[in-house]
Amino acid sequence: MRQTVLQTKELTVSFGGLKALNGLDFQLYEGEFLGLIGPNGSGKTTFFNALTGIYRPAAGSVLLHGNDITGAPPTKIYAYGITRTFQRLRLATSLSVLDNLIIGNQRNLNLGLWHNIFNRKSFKRRLQEQIQIAEELLSRFSRDLAVHLFKPVSSLSMIDRRRVEVCRALISEPKILLLDEPSAGMTPDETRALMDELQDWRAQYPTLSIILIEHEMELINKVSDRCVVLNYGEKIAEGRYSEVSNEPGVRAAYLGED
Amino acid sequence: MSELKTKLVLLLGVALSVVVLYGFLYLEREWEIGVLLVMVPLGVYFLKRANALTYYQHAAREMPRFTWISFALGVVVLIMLLRHEDFALLMLTTVLLYATVSLGLTIQFGFAGVVNFAAIAFFGIGAYSMAILNQHFLHIPDLLIIFFSGAISALLGALLILPILRTRGHYAALITIAFGILFRTFLEVNDVLGGPQGLRVSGLEIFGWDFGNSFPNELGGGSFYVAYAIVALVLLATVYLITRLIEASWLGLNMDSVRLDEVASASFGINGPRWKITAFMLGNCFAGFAGAVYAAMYGFIAPASFNLSDSLLLVSIVLLGGIGNPVAVIPAAFLIVVLPEKFQVIQEYRLLLFGIVVILILRFRPSGLMPRGLRQYFAGRFG
Ligand SMILES: Nc1ncnc2c1ncn2[C@@H]1O[C@H](COP(=O)(O)OP(=O)(O)OP(=O)(O)O)[C@@H](O)[C@H]1O
Ligand SMILES: [Mg+2]
């Protein structure tokens, strides 16, 4: 029996009159790689924002391992082991790659005054640890990127920035990873490499569940165990990609899209 | 670069700075200062062309502690050179104190992104705390009183935290401006605090040394300002060290992250309000320390010394230097405090000129004269 890790019940998010999410029932199982698809403006990003506490749902609930976490602030969501990437990158571009990754590893930082200001020896050791973790993580995704650890993110190419964002979300070893179109702006080869790395990571952390928002259907077909299709904030289909892609409702929603 | 060579480069830099600073403080005729004002940028230009500036910057990055100590000692030398010049010492001390306040603003605005247009009010709270505490609690050592004055500034500043956290951008700025004006008005109508006439403040006495007297003859003699200049220098050096250590730790990293993108930070567990509050209180505490020393040095304080225009002047120091760069506020404070004293014209049109300077900087060099570099946790490698 597969375990449900995350569940929403009749989740609704409205912006004024517009219901960006409308009574969404949703389930994510442990270790699952779930594709979240739907046309532009169908509410995919809104769903992530509602899960991570950036938007407050107007109605419905979010359950994590059966516990109600509806409306929990983003900091709590992170503490529960849910991390994400953003559709429009939200890295601290004036900071170094290393700094951005350390930000992602907040959970493992000692923020005590003594440790940070006075006991610089032990701080230095912790810093070296973080550097090593960051280096290992980056070089999994791209050998060249690890060399740029001390460079500002603003000096990186778009693709490398995407990689850094994925690494920032992974460095704290989350239980649930939310990826909002990580492949935007990448070539098919680069996307494939990124997905291979994610599969590798899953092999190492088999309980990690991933929700991937993606417009590239080939990719969804290849990597996802299951798909959920949204349209106008409502779920119009779910199941294996090969099944849902043939449903008339889904075809209608995408008509003129592809 | 070998270690010895690095040190020599750094010492040379300090020596050169001391000579230039001495010139600015000692010379009085406008044309003399004018010549200096032309020569300094020229000198900087040639040093830059000869790559000497980058050389120096590398050296300073490699040995930050040596740089910091040698500069502090350089200022001690400067104070000793000027020990009979009351006015020059007064100016220098003001520079050191204003730089201290600006470091507070650097943490608030440059690190955590919290605006504060009431810096002079927190400076004033420190000054008034010094006046009152020193009068009523004779048995408390003055060093502790300076410390308490900073703490009182920080605590009174806490009144502003909720409104600042709840509002954004311009509104938060307006709240601090309102606070500054309120503070002045409060001083004027409050009889316990001396009303518009202000209060007398007794001088400092630290480790049994009464600052009211002239500088001891065994040490070469000199103005009683020497002692205040040294206290202000020690204060600045300490506050600078704290600021740098914060910057080079997870605390500074979190503050930067909150400033750059509060929502993304929250998604990685960073508690925005926590870091904004920390930065705000710490910065106001620095302002309070400086205000306390200022009050003791002048021996007299009144509401008229704590105007909105002074707060703006402090903000312009941070803008001119380079937002978020702790080193930058020191030369910027020097320029902004000393030049108006030397040129009658600037003195008369002070605010107008500062307005123009700020506009020019924001337009042409938004990151200031000395832009902030990448975060550096430790000397040398480690980014
Ligand atoms: N902050 C907001 N304020 C008002 N309307 C919003 C806001 N965020 C999203 N919306 C609206 O909600 C709807 C869903 O948007 P959302 O960004 O979730 O779509 P999406 O499925 O992620 O689309 P895309 O594939 O283009 O990323 C859209 O109509 C959008 O205009
Ligand atoms: Mg989206």
Interface test with A, best of B250, B259, B275 (most A CBs within 10 A): B250
Instruction: Tell me, in angstroms, the distance from the centre of ligand 2 to residue A175's CA.
Output: 22
B373 touches chain A (CB under 8 A): no
Chain A residue with Cα closest to B252: A116
Q: Could you tell me the CA-to-CA distances from A165 to A100, A184, B125, B260, B262 in Å, in that order?
A: 8, 12, 45, 15, 16
Q: What percent of chain B has pLDDT over 70?
A: 96
> Does pLDDT of B383 surpass 50?
no
* Ramachandran sector of residue B322 (left: φ over 0; alpha: ψ -120 to 50; beta: rest): left
- Candidate ranges A91-105, B20-34, B355-369; pick with highest mean pLDDT: A91-105
Query: Rounded mean pLDDT of B310-328?
Result: 94
Predicted local distance difference test score (pLDDT) of residue B101: 98
Give me ligand 2 centre to Cα A49, in Å.
10
Residues with CB under 6 A from ligand 1: A 15, 18, 20, 38, 40-46, 87
Q: Ligand 1: which of A37, A44, A55 to mutate, most ligand atoms within 8 Å of CB?
A: A44
Chain A interface, Cβ < 8 Å to B:
52-54, 73-75, 77-79, 83-84, 86, 90-96, 98-99, 102-104, 106-107, 109-111, 113, 116-117, 120, 123-124, 127, 131, 149-150, 152, 168, 172
Distance separating alpha carbons of residues B239 and B245, to the nearest angstrom: 10
Q: Residue A1: pLDDT band by 50, 70, 90 thresholds?
A: low
As given in the structure block, the two tokens for residue A30 are 């442990």
Q: What's the whole-number mean pLDDT along residues B77-99?
A: 94
Q: Do A123 and B382 touch (CB under 8 A)?
A: no
Which of B91, B97, B81, B79 is closest to B28 using CA atoms?
B91
Which of 257-316 (B) contact A at CB < 8 A? 257, 260-261, 263-271
Rama region for A218: left / alpha / beta (φ>0; ψ in -120 to 50; rest): alpha
Ligand 1 atom with the shortest distance to the CA of A49: 18
CA–CA dist B45, B41 (Å, integer): 6
Residue A10 tokens, joined: 């009749």
pLDDT band of residue A251 (cuts 50, 70, 90) is confident
pLDDT beyond 70 at A51: yes
For the segment A233-238, the average pLDDT, to the nearest whole number, is: 92
Identify which of B290, B298, B342 has the alpha carbon closest to the alpha carbon of residue B88.
B342
- What's the pLDDT at B322? 94
Contacts of A6 (CB under 8 A, 6+ apart): A26, A27, A28, A51, A62, A63, A64, A82, A176, A209
Which residue among A42, A84, A231 is best mutated to probe the pocket of ligand 1, counting the most ligand atoms within 8 A of its Cβ? A42
Burial zone of B311 (CB within 10 Å; 0-12 exposed, 13-18 middle, 19+ buried): buried
Q: Which residue has the tokens 């599969």?
A: A199
- Cα-based torsion angle of the residue sequence B334, B335, B340, B343 in order, rounded to the nearest 10 degrees: 120
Among A138, A112, A24, A108, smallest CA distance to B268 is for A108
Chain B contact probe: residue of A116, A156, A165 with most B CBs at under 10 A: A116
Residues in CB range of A9: below 8 A, 6 or more apart? A25, A60, A61, A63
Residue A51 and residue A57 in contact, taking contact as beta carbons nearer than 8 Å = no
Q: Of A150-159, A200-209, B60-69, B212-221, where does mean pLDDT reach its minimum?
A: B212-221
> In a mutational test of the pocket of ligand 1, which residue from A11, A22, A45 has the highest number of ligand atoms less than 8 Å from its CB?
A45
Is the per-residue pLDDT at A90 higher than 90? yes
Give residue B84 CA to ligand 2 midpoint distance, Å. Answer: 69
- Which residues have C-beta under 5 Å from ligand 2, the single-atom ion? A 45, 87
pLDDT of residue B140: 81
**Average pLDDT score over residue span A42-61:** 95
Q: What is the pLDDT of residue B214?
A: 65
Provide the pLDDT confidence category of residue B2 given band limits of 50, 70 and 90: confident
Average pLDDT over residues A133-159: 92
Alpha carbon of residue A49 to chain centroid: 11
CA of B160 to the centre of ligand 2 (A): 37
Do strands B205-206 and B209-210 pair parallel, antiparallel, or not at all (unpaired)? antiparallel
Domain annotation for chain A: domains and CATH numbers = 4-81+174-255 (3.40.50.300)
Q: DSSP code of A3?
A: P
- Phi first, then psi: give them for residue A255, nearest 5 degrees: -55, 130
pTM of the shown model:
0.93
Provide the terminal-to-terminal Cα distance of chain B, rounded to the nearest Å. 18
**How many Å apart are CA A90 and CA B12, to the nearest integer?**
43
Task: Kindly give, in sequence order, each residue whose CB lies less than 8 Å from that of residue B197, ignoring residues fewer than 6 positions away.
Answer: B302
What distance separates the 2 farthest-apart alpha carbons in chain B? Answer: 63
Q: Residue A102 phi/psi, 5° resolution?
A: -65, -35
Task: Spell out which residues of chain A touch residue B267, defining contact as CB-CB under 8 Å.
Answer: 52, 54, 74, 77-78, 83-84
Q: pLDDT band for A250, please (50, 70, 90 cuts).
A: confident
What's the CA-to-centroid distance between A39 and ligand 2, angstroms?
A: 9
What is the tens place of the pLDDT at every residue in B176-192? Answer: 999 999 999 999 998 88
Cα separation, B24 vs B336, in Å, equals 12
Instruction: Give the nearest chain A residue to B270 (CA atoms).
Output: A75
A79 contacts: CB under 8 Å, gap ≥ 6? A107, B269
